[in-house]
Amino acid sequence: MPRPLRSLRSLLTLLLLVLAACGRPTPTPEPPPNIVFIFTDDHSARAISAYGSEINQTPNIDRLAAEGMRFANCFVTNAICAPSRATILTGLYSHANGQLTNQETFDGSQRTFPKLLQEAGYQTALIGKWHLKSAPTGFDHWQVLIGQGPYYNPPIRTATDTTVIPGYTTNIITDLSLDWLQNQRDPARPFMLMVQHKAPHRRWEPGPDHLTLYDDQTIPIPDTFFDDYEGRASPAAEANMRIDENLTALDLKIVPPNNLTEEQLEAWNAAYGPKNEALRERPLEGEEFARWKYQRYIKDYLRTVASVDDNIGRLLDYLDQTGLAENTVVIYTSDQGWYLGEHGWYDKRWMYEESLRTPLIVRWPAAVEAGAVSYDMVSNVDFAATFLDLAGATIPADLHGRSLKPILLGQAPDDWRDSFYYHYYEYPASHCVQRHYGVRTERYKLIYYYLVDEWELFDLHEDPDELTSVYDDPAYADVVSDLKAELQRLRTELNVPDDDRPSGDCTFDAEGWDGFEAG
């Protein structure tokens, strides 16, 4: 490279760093990029081959990773559906946006990044799962599932009406997204489209194309599947989210979903009928039954993931064919991680790695190096600032997150965070996971279960599966002391209220399934 050009590039890099440090938007190429945010519900990174999955293949998500940047350490602030969505929209932790659990109604009058993008001249659209109870605000166009929404034949709500659309929900959400891209948006203006799937959320009902996928395979069982929870504080053993105890007949497809058309039910019964009959004829028990439940659970989960991946391929093909791909930022992420049998569990909620961690892949051919991997500690609380930065809009100073754009451009700031605050609130409630907050650093994780006043400390280098708390080990006394100080520093910086201790009884919303009734 000729010297003057190199100097100019260095100067520009310096300018970008200075601007980023000031909290101002990083300069964006003209025209500003479109943003397609593809969002799933409960997708563990360990069910994505780009993240090294040993149990499935996701060629279309992998394509995004191969052509963009994969984030190896993306953490959520509160690992449950509605709070994650509220954090993404507002760029704030749960205590500041009011969505502590799935129970509250989201306050749609507050500042959100879609509203700020509208002010910056973007068209905004939301299609798929919303799950925040109040009507969406900040969108020029929206078509959403009601609540969790079903996997088949979903009612779709708009600003004016609700219509049942026959078919498989993952396909339908993609159909509606493609229709908006093709026929409804203004091609003269940049857009931000949120494509939000229900899948692979419970009850993991596969689509018509994947009903028998994996039938001829045995999926490897995680090393920690038969965890006895020794060596940790009391909450882990008390949670109701065990594959061997808490899955229901509907979860396990012993009975079919109750909203299928005759044709859909026929295909369903052709796939599950013979397998259920075999179990009826040879009932299982004990460890053998637990292993059988795991196979049925994990295969159904991965079948719904396969449909998501196919449909991402349809969306990427459209962007390629229309020439939109080059200057469209495509994000793939999920609302939090998920247990694929680790510790014997399904579900999420914990600050343990499997649910704290969520996949994040960003492709932007015009600016992001293909095949890049970031190990920076990033979070869903950073998304709002990132989208505003991408659009060239001003980033409000009081957001809790920071723009990932410098990282995407290969210029990670020197002062990027090296500790991360987490806080889970939904207790008492289904699954009985104790409220907790904590801090994670590159090596350690300190967790405080504040309703029962118990602590855990994990040394992630020595114990990546988090099987043994070293909180009481004298060798870690200094680490505990330092992390407690850091935890308090983060809580002060984020203005977390001290008084966050409700009371109530632990409940569980569904009976586990033990086997066929006699006779």
Q: Please give the residue ranges that form the binding site for Ca ion (CB under 5 A).
A: 41-42, 81, 335
Residue 85 or 402: the one with the smaller Cβ distance to Ca ion is 85
CB of 396 to Ca ion, least distance (A): 26
The answer to whether 30 and 390 have CB atoms below 8 angstroms apart is no
How far is Cα 243 from Cα 347, in angstroms, rounded to an integer?
10
Question: Minimum distance from CB of 52 to Ca ion (Å)?
Answer: 22
Smaller CB separation from Ca ion, 335 or 353: 335
Distance CA 125, CA 279 (A): 46
111 burial level (CB within 10 Å; 0-12, 13-18, 19+): middle
C-beta closer to Ca ion: residue 41 or 459 = 41
Alpha-carbon distance of 29 to 60, in angstroms, equals 27
Smallest gap from Cβ 445 to Ca ion, in A, equals 21
Closest separation between CB of residue 339 and Ca ion, Å?
Answer: 12
Output DSSP code: residue 181. I
In the complex with Ca ion, which residue's Cβ is closer, 81 or 368? 81
In the complex, least distance from residue 201 CB atom to Ca ion, rounded to whole angstroms: 6
Residue number of the CB closest to Ca ion reads: 81
User: Could you tell me which of 452, 513, 448, 431 has the C-alpha nearest to residue 484?
Assistant: 448
Q: Are 352 and 456 in contact (CB under 8 A)?
A: no
Please give the Cα distance from 226 to 275 (Å, whole number). 25
Q: What is the dihedral of CA 484, 488, 490, 493, to 10 degrees?
A: -160
State the minimum distance, in angstroms, from the CB of residue 42 to Ca ion.
4
Closest contact distance (angstroms) between CB of 75 and Ca ion is: 15
Q: Say what angle helices 59-67 and 286-321 make with each other, to 10 degrees.
A: 50
Instruction: Report the residue number, 338 or 444, with the smaller CB distance to Ca ion.
Output: 338
Q: Measured from the CB of residue 87, what is the shortest distance to Ca ion in angstroms?
A: 12
Q: Which residues of 470-504 are buried (b: 16+ CB within 10 A; e: fewer)?
A: bbeeeebeebbeebeebbeebbeebebeeeeeeee
Mark out the alpha helices in 138-201 (DSSP H runs): 169-179
Which amino acid does the sequence have at 297?
Answer: Y
Residues in Cβ contact with 468 at an 8 Å cutoff, skipping those fewer than 6 apart: 231, 232, 458
Closest CA to 379 of 86, 87, 46: 87
Choose between 81 and 132: whose C-beta lies nearer to Ca ion: 81
In a 3-state reduction of DSSP, which class is residue 313? helix
CA distance 459 to 443: 6
Smallest gap from Cβ 128 to Ca ion, in A, equals 13
Cα distance between residue 149 and residue 131, in whole Å? 9
Q: Which is nearer to Ca ion, 131 or 303 (CB)?
A: 131
Closer of 41 and 353 to Ca ion (Cβ): 41
Nearer to Ca ion by Cβ, of 343 and 349: the residue is 349
Sequence-separated (6 or more) residues with CB below 8 Å from residue 216: none
Which of residues 131 and 296 has its CB atom nearest to Ca ion in the complex? 131
Shortest separation between residue 125's beta carbon and Ca ion, angstroms: 21
Nearest approach, Cβ of residue 336 and Ca ion (Å): 5
Please say which residue, 41 or 310, places its beta carbon nearer to Ca ion. Answer: 41
Query: Taking Cα atoms as reference points, which of 104, 109, 101, 105 lies closest to residue 81?
Result: 101
Residues whose CB is less than 8 angstroms from the CB of residue 110 and which lie 6 or more positions away in sequence, other chains included = 90, 97, 98
